[in-house]
Amino acid sequence: MDIDAGLRRRIVVSLLAAATFVVGLVVIGVTFSGSPLPESGAFALLGLLTGFVLLMALVGLYLIRAEDVDA
């Protein structure tokens, strides 16, 4: 299977966005370590989830526009 430049770009950008989310989870876990998650940690987690959804929407828009330029 041959991977063209457009598919490679989509894979790399999506993996970077997902890796950013995982790093954010680790940072929140280390920062707010405790048996029950403190309230500030819960807000940080909620912010991370919201940011990830927005980031993936922006990544999708970028990839659609980049595909239009390549075509």
- pLDDT beneath 70, residues of the chain: 1, 70-71
Residue of 57, 32, 34 lying closest to 45 (CA atoms): 32
65 φ, ψ to 5°?
A: -70, -40
> How far is CA 8 from its chain centroid?
17
Contacts with 66 (C-beta within 8 Å, 6 or more apart), sequence order = 6, 9
pLDDT of residue 70: 65
pLDDT of residue 15: 95
The count of other CB atoms within 10 Å of the CB of residue 53 is 11
CA 5-17-46 angle, to 5 degrees, is: 160
